[in-house]
Amino acid sequence: MAVHEPAPPRPPRRAEIAARIPRGYSPALHLAAPTALGALVLAAAVRLLDAVEAVELLAVPATLLLAFAFEWWAHRSVLHRRAPLLGGLCERHEREHHLAFTADDMALRSARELWLVLMPPYSALLVLALLLPLAAGAGLVFSRDAALLGLATAMAFFVSYEWMHLAYHLPPDSPVYRVPGLARLREHHRRHHDPRLMKRWNFNVTVPVFDVVHGTRWSPRPRSGA
């Protein structure tokens, strides 16, 4: 595999993109609303559990594995390719997020730039609307408690995705990087922001499980003699 050098600097676009953020935008609300909804769904699902059997606990790792797979697929095939009816998502991701945050300039400069990092404000409701019928189907095929555990895990994954992606766009000296492993995950994502890598490499944002599975995890080779 060829060694990629850092991308050359591109003309500054962040100010132009940030100027399109709605005037009444509230970064705190944008972050708090999906977090609160996710916590509410998680708490409700756990509260409704009744006599969980050991085999039903497998719903948690199974859901996480599916979530990692979906994250990889959606990032690669929707956010970086113009899928039918979903071209606007690719446009927003590549023409806003990737132009505003380059591999050599990843950190937020203001709270308002959360608009360019987090999913659209309605995403949490959309995710919940998609998960509910899936959970109902899982309840019919498996069990009620397995479905509730899957629903709770999926919503927890969604919230974790948002917070982890936000963390990657904090300054590299932020105290959050004292969390073990987070700096390495940030570097995995930072490499994806190289325009020459973004369409082929490092599509997992949370944990690069399916980048490893599909061979799309990229890191520079160590220099000979180093």
pLDDT digits (tens, 9 = 90+) for 142-199: 999 999 999 999 999 999 999 999 999 999 999 999 999 999 999 999 999 999 999 9
Quick one: tokens of 202?
């490092």
Stretch among 24-38, 105-119, 164-178, 210-224 having the lowest mean pLDDT:
210-224
Q: Please give the pLDDT value at position 44.
A: 97
What is the three-state SS of 97-154? HHHHCECCECCCCCHHHHHHCCCCCCHHHHHHHHHHHHHHHHHHHCCHHHHHHHHHHH
Scanning the structure block, which residue is given the tokens 């994954």? 157
Q: How many CB atoms lie within 10 A of CB 153?
A: 20
**Angle at 167 (CA atoms; ends 155, 170), nearest 5 degrees:** 155
Q: What percent of the chain has pLDDT over 90?
A: 84
- Which of 91, 60, 86 lies closest to 73, judged by CA? 86
Q: What is the pTM of this model?
A: 0.90
